[in-house]
Amino acid sequence: MRGTFRSLPLLVLLAFALPASPAAAAEGGSAACLVPYEIGHTQPLGELRLEKGPYKITVLNTSDDLTCADAHDEFRRILREPGADLPDGWELDAASRTIQRENGRDQFRVEADDTEAVAASEDGGSFWGSLEGFALTWLPIIFMGLIAVAVVWMVQYMPRTKPQEIAPDSSSSVRWEDVAGCEEAKEELREVVEFMRDPKRFKKLGAKVPKGILLHGPPGTGKTLLAKAVANESNAKFFAQSASSFVEMFAGLGAARIRRLFRHARKEAPAIVFIDELDAVGATRGNDVSGEKDQTLNQLLVELDGFGGADNVVVIAASNLLEKLDPALLRPGRFDRQILVTPPDLKGRRSILTVHTRGKPLAADVDMEAVARQTSGMTGADLANICNEAAIFAGRDHREQVMTKDFQAALERVVAGMQSRRMITDHEKRVVAYHEAGHALCSEMLESVEKVHRISIIPRGKALGYTLNLPEEDRYLKTKEELLDYMVVLLGGRVTEHIIFGEITTGASDDLRKVHEISRSMVTEYGMGTELMSKQLPTDDYSMSDYTRRQVDEEQQYLTDLAHRRALKMVNENRPLLDTLAHTLLENEVLERDDIERIVGDYLGGGGDGSNGKPASPVVPVAEPGAPRVAASERLEGQAGGDSPS
């Protein structure tokens, strides 16, 4: 079979060559060419008028070595001459329709042929001319047909997102007792649940269910979890869909999906529609280049304000960026209630830890109250991650219970990152130890700053070491003196490097960034400068004069210099405590809160000069000129309370 396909081109060539062979081989007489010649249009030739159609060519004198192919070529050249005249050297006998040269050679006769033409073309009747005509006629039609088929295929196989329906008995269902740390939001949503369960009780009083409820707040605070709890407790149909699924590259597709979602919800009323990450489609209009997002948002606005209370359809949306949402989306009648979901307080964190440790075997020494105090400022997602990491640490050690050290390791993993295996030189290790000891010294000497719970010079993540400050209680306001003290703590590491080693490294880059942010906010946002105290000065206010900008810079420089001087004085006055902290840290690599309290207590109990019965730690000399100068750690501050001004 394969050999047959390979021989097809040869057979085709032989088929074209065979008609000419008899005429070429004939000797004397005449030979009729088997392949006719077709004229594409009426054409005069001398006294003859050749009509359109096929013509048979007969070679009359084969002794002149004139073949059929030669006769075809000569006849083609004669027809291409302009007008009815023959080319020079040729003559026509109209009566016999014979064409020959003037010397009588190369005679052939042209007669009309009634048989069907095999190969025809306007330029001479060849096979390739016929193929060209077919291509010019049909190829554009075939091409347009292929495009139509491709478009239909693309529309059929285009991703179609359907709203996810969550049933009360599904694996995605959540109960009220599974949600903790956001009691205020739960109380607001319980009213919606009661309305969906017993609407007649509220309608008798003329009350209407809120059309829309917007949950907003930082990421990880439990907004989606609250929506799932509402779905389970209300016994209503619940449809969840992400706002990003409404946005497509095809114009009008997002609006069509919103119409389909709400049409489906109305059919299943009473129903709840949950739209997650609303800011993906609800951002302020006018900033979209293509206009697709604006069209999708317009359709959402119409659907929110287009159905009445009788439909029993409630829309719940979640967003982390309330300030970017379109004002028309936030007005009453669309989203009647806006519920802020904040990070939990101490009681809320304890409840969240209880929920996420449910089903985990805990050792008797695990104190959830202590863990809750150490995780101030963390969200529910962070706490769930800590509980899961603690269980992983216990499983890694092949233990059957989760212990306190597992929670400590998990907290360190979440806050500071994964432990690194990077090897640092002795000089780098000494720089990092003194850097972190400087932070710890300033924290212990200042009453308004959160106390140090752990110091480590073990590399974790991008940092070569870190100092973890954790508050004893939840606080939401800070005074000017507290912010200044916090800047003193941040600059304590850099000041210590300069005092001990005579040089500074790049290890304080993160501390300097925080000092800049705090001092700038004190002047421009909080009015805590010495002269600029009665107004805010936004950094993006281009109407601010150059003089005011210079005042802002001078006020900021004054605050940072004041903090630097205080840190320098504090480290110099407590040099023995600094050396003790640094040497103990070099020996143990990690200092816990109990170790820090013992060292500070011994120092203060002995009068602050090392006269408590123990010799003062030796002072490390300034590094010699040939010693390596490598960056110390970029310090990682703890999450809780003291990382940024509130």
CB atoms within 10 A of CB 186: 19
Please compute Rg for the chain using Cα positions.
45
User: What is the DSSP secondary-structure string of 482-542?
Assistant: HHHHHHHHHHHHHHHHHHHHSS--GGGHHHHHHHHHHHHHHHHTS--SSS--SS---TT-T
Residues 6+ apart with CB under 8 A from 259: 299, 303
Residue spans of alpha helices (H) in 574-639: 575-588, 593-605
Nearest residue to 211 (alpha-carbon basis) of 96, 315, 292, 81: 315
What residue type is assigned to position 522 of the chain? Answer: M
User: What is the DSSP secondary-structure string of 184-251?
Assistant: HHHHHHHHHHHHHH-HHHHHTTT----SEEEEE-STTSSHHHHHHHHHHHH-SEEEEEEGGGG--SST
Give the containing element (helix H, strand E) for 570. Answer: helix 546-573
Residues 6+ apart with CB under 8 A from 125: 36, 37, 38, 39, 40, 117, 119
Nearest residue to 130 (alpha-carbon basis) of 141, 116, 117, 120: 120
Q: Sign of the CA dihedral 569, 574, 576, 580?
A: negative
| Residue given tokens 């101490």 in the structure block | 346
| Residue given tokens 């095999």 in the structure block | 118
The torsion angle over the Cα atoms of residues 295, 299, 301 and 304, rounded to 10 degrees, is -160
Active site residue 436: yes
203 phi and psi, to 5 degrees? -70, -25
Nearest residue to 553 (alpha-carbon basis) of 512, 516, 513: 516
Q: For the chain, first and last CA: distance in Å?
A: 84
Residues 6+ apart with CB under 8 A from 36: 54, 55, 56, 57, 113, 115, 117, 118, 125
CB 348 within 8 A of CB 386: no
Whole-number Å distance between alpha carbons of 12 and 50? 31
Catalytically annotated residue among 233, 277, 292, 436:
436
Active site residues: 436
